Structure formats: structure tokens, C-alpha cells
Amino acid sequence: METVIISPKKSTSKKVGKAVPMTKAEMVQKMLYDQKFIREAIQKGISFRELTEKYGYKFATV
């Protein structure tokens, strides 16, 4: 069964222009969104490497 994930992080990132600082509310929203996205992806069997290379998430190297 194909795994479908909506709104991968990579496609939402801005590619040009100066980064606009987030408000605190936006920060919290993004923290929770990313946390949930990663959790759900791992549960679906998506690897950390795929999350990095395909969806643009970063992890500390261990």
C-alpha cells in the first residue's frame, strides 16, 4: 500500500528572499506540526534518511 503524506516540509519552504521571522505563535504551531509529521511518518515506516532526503527534515547526527 502506498503511503501518502500531505504537505511535505520540503515543498512548503521558501526558496527566495530573506527569511521572515516567525511570531511565537507561529513557532509553536510549526514545532507541533513538525513533531506530529515526523511521528506519523515513522509510524508509517518512513525512514529517518527518507525524512531527511525527501521531506527536508534534519536530525542531529549520533
Partner 1 sequence: MAISSQPYKYNISKPYNYSFTTDNGFEYFCYFTPYGEYFLEYPELAPKIFSFDIQLKNTILKPKGTDKRIADTVIDIVGEFLISQINAVVYICDPSDGKGNARFKKFKSWFEYYTHDSAQIVQISDFLETESGSLHAVLLVHKKNKLREQFVKAFFNLTDGDK
- Interacting residue ranges for partner 1, rule: CB under 8 A: 21-25, 27-29, 31-32, 34-36, 38-39, 42-43, 48-49, 52, 57-62
Min separation Cβ 4 and partner 1, Å: 19
The DSSP 8-state label assigned to residue 13 in this structure reads: S
Min separation Cβ 2 and partner 1, Å: 20
Element housing 49 (H / E)? helix 48-53
Burial class of residue 57, CB neighbours in 10 A (0-12, 13-18, 19+): middle
- Of 16 and 25, nearer to partner 1 (C-beta) is 25
